[in-house]
Chains A and B, each alone.
Chain A
Amino acid sequence: MFHNRAEAYALALPAAVFAAIVFLVPVGLLLSEGLHGPGGWSLSAYVQFFSEPLNQKIFLRTLKLGLMVTATAAVIGYATAYAIVSMPAGTKGRMIGLVVLPMMISPVARTYAWIVILGRTGIVNEALKFVGLTDAPIRFLFTETAVFLGLLQLFLPLMIISLVSALENLPKDAVPAARILGANWLQVFVKIILPLTREGLIVGGTLVFTGSLTAYITPAILGGSKVLMLETLLYQQVTVASNFPAASVIAFLLIAMSFSANILLRRIATARSGK
Chain B
Amino acid sequence: MTRNILAPLTLGLVLLFLIGPFIIIVAASFSAGETLAFPPQGFSFKWIAKVFTVESFRQSFGTSLFLAIGGTLAALILGIPAAYAMSRYRLPGAETVRFMVSLPIVVPGIVVGLALLRYFVIPAGVPILLALFLAHTALILPYAVRVVSASLANLRSDMEEAAVILGASRIGAFVRVVLPNIRGGILAAFILGFVTSFNQVPVSLFLSGPGVRTLPIDMLGYMEIVFDPSIAALSSLLAFLSIGIVLLAERFLGFSRYV
| A positions within 8 Å CB-CB of B | 1-5, 7-16, 18-20, 22-27, 29-30, 76, 79-80, 82-84, 86, 95, 98-99, 101-102, 104-110, 112-117, 119, 121-123, 152-153, 156-157, 160, 210, 213-217, 220-221, 231, 234-235, 238, 244, 247, 251, 254-255, 258-259, 262
CB of A117 within 8 A of CB of B82, answer no
Minimum C-beta distance from B216 to chain A (A):
5
Q: How far is the CA of A24 from the CA of B119 in the complex (A)?
A: 12
CB of A15 within 8 A of CB of B141, answer yes
Minimum C-beta distance from A204 to chain B (A):
14
Q: Which residues of B contact A19 (CB under 8 A)?
A: 100-101, 103-104, 138, 141
Describe B's contact surface by its main secondary structure: helix
| Contacts A82-B7, A110-B22, A112-B231; A15 near B89 (Cβ below 8 A) | no
CB of B202 within 8 A of CB of A214, answer yes
Minimum C-beta distance from A248 to chain B (A):
9
| Contacts A8-B90, A27-B111; A80 near B11 (Cβ below 8 A) | yes
Q: Which residues of B contact A238 (CB under 8 A)?
A: 114, 206
CB of B107 within 8 A of CB of A216, answer no
Q: How far is the CA of A66 from the CA of B245 in the complex (A)?
A: 32
| B positions within 8 Å CB-CB of A | 7-8, 10-11, 14-15, 17-22, 24-25, 28, 35-38, 78-79, 81-82, 84-86, 88-92, 94, 96-97, 100-101, 103-112, 114-116, 118-120, 134-135, 137-138, 141, 145, 157, 170, 195, 198-199, 201-202, 205-206, 216, 219-220, 223, 231-232, 235-236, 238-239, 242-243, 246
CB of B18 within 8 A of CB of A15, answer no
Q: How far is the CA of A253 from the CA of B228 in the complex (A)?
A: 37
Interface centre among B8, B97, B141, B170 (most CB of A within 10 A): B97
CB of B219 within 8 A of CB of A27, answer no
Minimum C-beta distance from B81 to chain A (A):
4
User: Which listed residue (A9, A26, A86) contacts B115, Cβ 8 A?
Assistant: A26
A sample of 11 cross-chain residue pairs with beta-carbon separation below 8 angstroms, ordered by A number, consists of A30-B111, A30-B119, A105-B235, A109-B22, A116-B24, A117-B24, A123-B38, A153-B18, A216-B109, A217-B201, A217-B216
CB of A113 within 8 A of CB of B116, answer no
